[in-house]
Amino acid sequence: MAWSWKLERADGADETVEETFPTRSDAESWLGENWRALRADGATRAVLLDDDAKVAALALDEPT
């Protein structure tokens, strides 16, 4: 299994993060450390992929 992220933008464009992770936990930790920079770069949502299967989707909003 290879875990990765696909980023969705408000304009409808998708971008796959080139980095892959050996575990889901590693992928989630990476997103936790980088979501603000991804959001500042225009990403609005992150989709977690296990190989090509969609596992989860998270909005990259500021916490309330």
Cα–Cα distance, 22 to 3 (Å, whole number)? 6
| Residue 64 resides in a domain | no
pLDDT average, residue stretch 28-56: 95
**How confident is the model at residue 50, as a pLDDT?**
96
Mean pLDDT of the 25-32 span: 97
Q: 33 lies in which domain range?
A: 3-59
Does some domain include residue 32? yes
Q: How many structural domains is the chain composed of?
A: 1
User: Model-level pTM?
Assistant: 0.88
pLDDT at 62: 74
Whether 28 shows a pLDDT value over 70: the answer reads: yes
